[in-house]
Structure 1
Amino acid sequence: MTAMECLERLRDMQIELRKLERDIKELRAKLYSLKAIDYGKEHISGGTPKDLGDQIAHFNARLKVVQDKWKRFMQYSDVVDGMINQIESCQLRALLHERYINCGSWEQVAEVVGVTREWIRKRMHREAVKEFSKIYKNSLQELAVVGIQDVV
């Protein structure tokens, strides 16, 4: 994995976690809106009935998956943030932190760093990734401890 792939993986993880959190929110809303079974209606056979217990079990299983992914994300994010914080230039640190740790847009990054979006994308980002790459090569052992293979 290259340094750039390491940074992009962090953004991908955040996107995946936001999606999973929306799924959990929808499942929770479905649980709160469940109605009692009307036993007066005609029984229709086929399919597998999902009672409240099944739905709660499904919700808890999905919640556990999300919690595990959040834990791995936080470990990975802490290691990557530690590497970013080793960069000497304050502007380059701020650029990488805002873009990859905070998952900011290029406009947000430019606002934080105090330069134009074009300058960030055409010049500074390349320089920041180059500086991060130097640190990344020396920190592969730390990422191996976190288990970068199965983070997402």
Structure 2
Amino acid sequence: MGKYLGTEWEDMYKDFLEMCGDEDTAEIMVDMSIGDMKELGELTDKEYMLQILRIDDRIESINRDIEAQIERKADTLSATDYSKDRISGGSCSDLSNIVVGIEQCVELQRKEIERLKAIKAEVRSVISQVRPNELAMLLTERYAQGKNWKEVADILGYSEARVRGELHDRALTEVGFVRSTM
């Protein structure tokens, strides 16, 4: 049962649970919201850049969750025998309530995807303003492309130690400068 019951996040969990009708989905949405709230606090320039690596994974996770939720709800609907005479207690609105719940949850998840895409675009914009271009390339290859330090060093033509140390430090300083002007 909901890991957020009895915590400061209980109301948020219950809202997501009511909207989505699924405990797993509600927990995922609270997990993402808590992570986002932490991200809204003061991020170091490195943490700011690291966001772009996690965003694609989170978008993929949300998309998988949407598909799984729709599949679970479809299984629920297909398990119901609508050809039988209805006995008391059920109503035609049961089906529409399930559909509305799916639509609300999917819409919430799609909004989260759009928000994450906006963060990604912002980080890419910051990278594009970093000068000199060599530092922007370092940031692009490391954070946007997810390359390891050896690969970045080979692309830039420097030793791995220099790229990981001096150049990376300079690049993050430039990120801080660009962010301070936003």
TM-score per shorter chain, which class?
0.5 to 0.7
Task: Summarize the alignment of residues 1-152 of structure 1 with structure 2, pairs less than 5 Å apart.
Answer: 1=42, 2-33=44-75, 35-38=78-81, 52-102=95-145, 104-106=146-148, 110=152, 113-114=155-156, 118-119=160-161, 120-139=163-182
CA spacing shift, 1:115–1:61, aligned 2, 3 Å: farther
Moved more, 26-35 or 72-81: 26-35
Deviation at 1:26, TM superposition (A): 1.1
Q: Distance in 2 between the 1:100 and 1:113 partners?
A: 14
Q: Supply the distance in 2 between the matched residues of 1:55 and 1:109 (Cα, whole angstroms).
A: 49
Question: Unpaired segments of 5 or more residues in structure 1?
Answer: 44-50, 140-152
Give the residue type in structure 2 aligned to 1:126.
Answer: D
CA distance in 1, matches of 2:75, 2:154: 43
Shift of 1:58: 2.8
- Runs of 4+ more than 6 Å apart: none
Q: C-alpha deviations, 1:35-92, integer Å up to 9, x for none?
A: 242477xx9xxxxxxx543432232122111221122223322222222111123332
Count the aligned residue pairs.
Answer: 131
Contact 1:98 1:112 in 2 (8 A): no
Q: Which runs of 5+ in 2 are unaligned?
A: 1-41, 88-93
- Which stretch has the larger CA shift, 28-37 or 80-89? 28-37
Contact 1:83 1:136 in 2 (8 A): yes
CA RMSD, Structure 1 to Structure 2 (Å): 3.6
- Residue by residue, what CA displacement relative to the aligned partner does 1:112-131 show, whole Å, maximum 9, x if unpaired? 83558944444433332122
What is the one-letter code of the residue matched to 1:21? N
Does the CA-based 8 Å contact 2:130-2:174 persist in structure 1?
Answer: yes
Aligned partner of 1:16: which letter? R
Alpha-carbon distance in structure 1 between the residues aligned to 2:52 and 2:131? 21
Q: Return the alpha-carbon distance in structure 2 between the equivalents of residues 58 and 117 of structure 1.
A: 54
Residue identity matched to 2:111: D
Any idea what SS the aligned residue of 1:110 has? helix
**Secondary structure of 1:126 counterpart:** helix
1:123 & 1:84 partners in 2: Cα distance?
17
Change (3 A) 1:85 1:23: same
